[in-house]
Amino acid sequence: MIRRPFRTAMAALVVVAVLSGCTSGPTPGSELRIATPQPVTSFNAQTVFGDSPSNQGVLSATDGGFFEPHAEQQRVLNQSFGDVSVDSLDPLTVTYTLGDSATWSDGVAVSPADLLLAWAGISGVLNDSGAKREALIDQESGLPTAAFTGKTVFFDGMPNGLEHAATTPVVDEKTGAVTLVFDEPVVDWRLIFDIGVPAHVVAAQALGSADATEGQNAILAAIQNNDRAALASISRQWSTGFVASEITDAATQLVATGPYSVTAIGETLELTANDNYAGSSRASIETILVDVDRDVSGTIEAIAGGDLDVALVAPTDELLTAMKAAKSDESDVILTSGQGSLFEHLDLQFARSANGTFDKPEVRQAFLMTVPRQEIVDSLIGPFDADATPRDTFLLPQGHPNEETLAADSGVAAFAKPNIDKAKSMLASAGVKSPTVCILFDAQNARRAATFELIRASADQAGFVVTDCSSDDWLSKLGVPGAYDASLFAWETNAAVTTPTLRYGSKDAPANFNFYANGAVDAALLKLSKQAGGKPVLAKPADQAAILEQVNLSLTDPTLGTESVDALVKIEQTLWADAYGMPLYQQPEIVVHRAGVTGIDAGALTPGLLWNVAQWRVTG
């Protein structure tokens, strides 16, 4: 594999003309069949349950709004949808004005109600005081529990900083413009707010509104008046009504504002070109059919036989065997690989674990001393990338210009290869004999099973007893007290500056599953959230264009300023010193397709396989 260089990934906006680069529309009757290894579980990616790579990978084709996804998590201002203006920097005040062509795929005009619904859903500002997700939402199914009663108001939004727009947005009665006022600077304001699920569909399901305009007005009124009875029904529908198992009529429930909309679900997910989309990425293919298929050999055979066009596949021995067979048959099957968006890591439970093994820092350090990082990479990634190396940082992807700076003094060098003798010595000093470590991982994931076996074999030499806590529903067990001692899973590489806070912060961090807490990390996270490019997050530029093009607002920005890099270095050093766990490797993104499909772009910072499907072309 040829490693892709890290390309500059600014959070700056690229402003494009209304129809810049668009096609004249899809070719009538054109169709593309795609296979992915994981199903879509929710069609509301703004919820905690719906915010997953497998969902985003498909739903990126249906996304549309003020800001549209482009390569390396740049955000492109879609002028056909409307206008965004920053009215003030102190306090940060942003106004969103809908354009005349902002329309849902069913022909209903996008309204201020859609924006207020997205604000209420993501921010959680209107939630009942003390409401807790774990009590109200079933982690495995995404559906409401018995505790989510008809009086409960709880929007299951993925926290991202929008909670700092803590007052209900103001709607201009004449223009319909919606204004958000933040109570503190929010570096990721471009990334955290946009159109989500349709208000008129939520109103039809939650309030029984038969007319679209009536439904939008009902949603608007409920939010503006803080109508608790109406909000109870609305929040329940927004949070759980777009779980895949709850969809009964995709064509009417899953309307969208992007290049495609979901028109049928079942064993096959059907995406149809959105005729009402007026942005810069109009579809060139009329219908996309998405199947779930974990049978790698069958997938490759289907592509070789012309029954399948594109497949996202895992890097396994089975894939190598299947590709070798395809080449021997002289099939036109092409394997495209790049640095994927996910990175594998090992996390240790700091408290409330199955065996209490890692309550002592010396035991955590000793266990990490046994992990064969390079052997894991050589065995699992080497066949696909001979130059692959372990990922050395928690916070930045491989190839980032600041990656070496973070790794240089972090302490990662001590874990370059197993040190069994030192691990034994540390256990002896801690007065611990034969500590048990039960590791949670996906029982269906062959690579994680292989990683587990390599870790077990190495740790056994130091006296650890490593046991198998794998589960088919491993995701629902993350963070569950007493369920395991360590976990193997993947995080998504994300440009948002707020992402580390969600994972490593000690207070109300939804993705802190291992009960980690360190005041020094919290302080550095706070500093990072308020600094970008070595200056205040929002230095006052001369005009609106300068505001929209302001750089240094992303973790993936290679020109991060000194103060931002210092904060990242502090976090990195502390995580390693505390023996938080360790990053293992950046997953390769492997797409197999037939020769007649071009334009596919998979990479570490792209927002899913179908993010640029409008630019795909089918020839023959």
Band (pLDDT 50/70/90 cuts) for residue 200 is very high
C-beta separation of 249 from 234 below 8 A:
no
Tell me, yes or no, whether 436 lies in a domain: yes
Where a domain ends, among 207, 228, 257? 257
Look up residue 617 and give its two tokens.
């072309």
C-beta separation of 51 from 107 below 8 A:
no
Q: Would you say the pTM of this structure is higher than 0.85?
A: no
| Cα 135 to Cα 146: distance, rounded to the nearest angstrom | 9
Tell me, yes or no, whether 51 lies in a domain: yes
Q: Same domain, yes or no, for 253 and 344?
A: no
Residue of 313 and 620 predicted with greater confidence:
313
Band (pLDDT 50/70/90 cuts) for residue 540 is very low
DSSP type of residue 136: H
Helical segments of 46-130, H only: 53-59, 112-123
Band (pLDDT 50/70/90 cuts) for residue 599 is confident
Q: Return all residues near 132 (Cβ < 8 A) that are at least 6 apart.
A: none
Q: Same domain, yes or no, for 251 and 346?
A: no
- For the segment 119-126, the average pLDDT, to the nearest whole number, is 97
519-531 b/e with 16+ CB inside 10 Å = b? eebbebbebbbbb
C-beta separation of 154 from 47 below 8 A:
no
Is the confidence at residue 80, as pLDDT, over 50?
A: yes
Percent of the chain with pLDDT over 90: 59
- For the segment 28-56, the average pLDDT, to the nearest whole number, is 91
Tell me, yes or no, whether 12 lies in a domain: no
CATH number at residue 377: 3.10.105.10
Residue of 73 and 587 predicted with greater confidence:
587
C-beta separation of 342 from 587 below 8 A:
yes
CATH number at residue 56: 3.90.76.10
Tell me, yes or no, whether 610 lies in a domain: no
Q: Same domain, yes or no, for 233 and 359?
A: no
Q: Same domain, yes or no, for 415 and 559?
A: yes
Where a domain ends, among 257, 273, 296? 257
Of 288, 333, 296, the C-alpha closest to 33 is 288
Band (pLDDT 50/70/90 cuts) for residue 106 is very high
Residue 610's pLDDT is: 87
Q: Same domain, yes or no, for 233 and 374?
A: no
Tell me, yes or no, whether 525 lies in a domain: yes
Q: Convert the pLDDT of each residue in 501-520 to its tens digit.
A: 889 999 878 789 999 999 99
Helical segments of 109-159, H only: 112-123, 133-136
Q: Convert the pLDDT of each residue in 389-420 to its tens digit.
A: 999 999 988 877 788 999 998 999 999 999 99
Secondary structure (H, E, C), 332-387: CEEEEEEEEEEEEEEEECCCCCCCCHHHCHHHHHHHHHCCCHHHHHHHHCCCCCCC
Q: Same domain, yes or no, for 252 and 396?
A: no
Secondary structure (H, E, C), 399-462: CCCCHHHHHHCCCHHHHCCCCHHHHHHHHHHHCCCCCEEEEECECCCHHHHHHHHHHHHHHHCC
Q: Convert the pLDDT of each residue in 556-588 to its tens digit.
A: 555 566 777 888 999 999 999 999 999 999 888
Q: Same domain, yes or no, for 113 and 237?
A: yes
- DSSP β-bridge partners for residue 82: 98
Q: To which residue do tokens 């409307």 refer?
A: 82
Q: What range defines the domain where residue 220 resides?
A: 44-257
Q: Convert the pLDDT of each residue in 457-490 to its tens digit.
A: 999 999 999 999 999 989 889 999 999 999 999 9
Look up residue 433 and give its two tokens.
């004999």
Considering the chain, what is the average pLDDT of its residues? 86
Residue of 6 and 430 predicted with greater confidence:
430
Residue of 378 and 321 predicted with greater confidence:
378
Q: Same domain, yes or no, for 392 and 247?
A: no
| Cα 569 to Cα 409: distance, rounded to the nearest angstrom | 8
Residue 496's pLDDT is: 66
DSSP type of residue 615: G
Q: Same domain, yes or no, for 253 and 352?
A: no
Q: Give whole-number Cα distances, 184 to 12, 327, 383, in Å.
A: 20, 57, 48
Look up residue 86 and give its two tokens.
């920053």
Tell me, yes or no, whether 37 lies in a domain: no
Band (pLDDT 50/70/90 cuts) for residue 127 is very high
User: Between β-strands 465-468 and 436-440, what pairing exists: parallel, antiparallel or unpaired?
Assistant: parallel
What domain count does the chain have?
A: 2
Q: Return all residues near 518 (Cβ < 8 A) that are at least 6 apart.
A: 506, 574, 578
| Cα 316 to Cα 172: distance, rounded to the nearest angstrom | 55
Tell me, yes or no, whether 4 lies in a domain: no
Of 402, 379, 419, 409, the C-alpha closest to 584 is 379
Tell me, yes or no, whether 526 lies in a domain: yes
> Strand 178-181's sheet: what is its strand order?
82-89, 92-98, 178-181, 170-171
Q: Convert the pLDDT of each residue in 309-324 to its tens digit.
A: 999 887 777 888 888 7
Residue 585's pLDDT is: 94
C-beta separation of 57 from 608 below 8 A:
yes
Q: Return all residues near 232 (Cβ < 8 A) that are at least 6 apart.
A: 149, 150, 151, 152, 153
Where a domain ends, among 226, 257, 288? 257
| Rg of the chain on CA atoms, in Å | 24
Look up residue 549 and give its two tokens.
């093009």
Is the confidence at residue 549, as pLDDT, over 50?
A: no
Q: Same domain, yes or no, for 345 and 253?
A: no
